[in-house]
Amino acid sequence: MPKQKTHSGLKKRIKVTGTGKLMRGQAYTGHLAMSKTTKQNRQLRGETTVHASDKKRIKSLISNLL
C-alpha cells in the first residue's frame, strides 16, 4: 500500500503546537475589511484552534507533520 501524502494546501494553513493542538487562521479576513467594524477586525486577528469535530479529518491529512 502506498504511503499517505501530506496535504500540501493544508500544511500551509495549519500549525501544530507543542501540546498537539491544531491552530488555524480566522476566516473573513481576506478582504472587505473596511465594511467590518474595528472591533470585528481586531477580534479576527491572530489564530484560533481547529474545532474538535474537524480534528480527526485534518490529522489524517497532515499525519506526517505530527
Question: Domain for residue 66, yes or no?
Answer: no
CATH of the domain at 36: 4.10.410.60
- Model confidence pLDDT, tens digit, residues 1-43: 898 899 999 999 999 999 999 999 999 999 999 999 999 999 9
Cell numbers for 51, please give them. Answer: 474545532
Question: Domain for residue 41, yes or no?
Answer: yes
CA 43 from centroid of its chain's CA atoms: 16
How many distinct structural domains can be found in the chain?
Answer: 1
Question: Domain for residue 28, yes or no?
Answer: yes
What does the pLDDT read at residue 1?
A: 85
Cell numbers for 54, please give them. Answer: 474537524
- Model confidence pLDDT, tens digit, residues 43-55: 999 999 999 999 9
Grid look-up 490529522 returns 59
Question: Domain for residue 21, yes or no?
Answer: yes
Contact (Cβ atoms closer than 8 angstroms) between residue 13 and residue 25 = yes
Question: Domain for residue 3, yes or no?
Answer: no
Range of the domain at 33: 8-59
What does the pLDDT read at residue 64?
A: 85
DSSP designation for 21: -
